A and B are shown apart, each in its own frame.
Chain A
Amino acid sequence: GQNIDQPTEMTATEGAIVQINCTYQTSGFNGLFWYQQHAGEAPTFLSYNVLDGLEEKGRFSSFLSRSKGYSYLLLKELQMKDSASYLCAVQDSNYQLIWGAGTKLIIKP
């Protein structure tokens, strides 16, 4: 079967750095997406990786290792507004997105 694993919840301090991991086992791989979802709101796109390596976008970076079936999202200089759920999604061989359950990130002052 297809499976995406992420930690359920993480806590970090304002101004610090946090890394959210995602491991996957899917039928094929055509890319990995990270989305942010604030409580009661729609998911919004953060990053996309299809090749191994690090993609940097401001305070957010995303890393992919296809051989290990592993990705992480790195958030730097954490702000209170970063409190949200972070969703990992893998595009399988049919180009359908398989979604993880999300990691709820709690930022403390």
Chain B
Amino acid sequence: NAGVTQTPKFRVLKTGQSMTLLCAQDMNHEYMYWYRQDPGMGLRLIHYSVGEGTTAKGEVPDGYNVSRLKKQNFLLGLESAAPSQTSVYFCASSSDREVTPQHFGDGTRLSIL
């Protein structure tokens, strides 16, 4: 019953450092998503994937890169972290993009100093 698992749960970075956020799902879902959630704002889509080997830009892709080498994993990379990227990052997955709901991981709380 793991569902969507995100690692790490918390991380503090210095400006300019790089890191990768990991997302794994065990539901055999085709679609995977990375969102960021900031106070007073709705979830914003960073990047998404419609299947293994595919990625696409969402609403706020700048400063982030993603990869989907395996169907169950979706990685979010920050090449050179900036304080504006301090946020809570959520990964989600769904079996299709229409009527089925997205299932979310527990989030990664990232602070950039």
Contacts and interface: CB of A to CB of B under 8 A. Distances in A.
Contacts of A42: 4, 90, 104-107
A22 to B, nearest CB: 11
Contact of B58 (A30, A31, A35, A96): A96
Given A31-B99, A42-B106, A96 B42 contact: no
For the residues of B in contact with A, the DSSP-based class is: loop
Contacts of A15: none
A43 B104 contact: yes
Contacts of A72: none
Contacts of A45: 101-103
Contact of A99 (B4, B43, B101): B43
Chain A, interface residues (CB within 8 Å), range:
20 to 34
B70 interface: no
Nearest to B50: A95
A102 B98 CA distance: 22
A35 B104 CA distance: 11
A4 interface: yes
Contacts of B4: 42
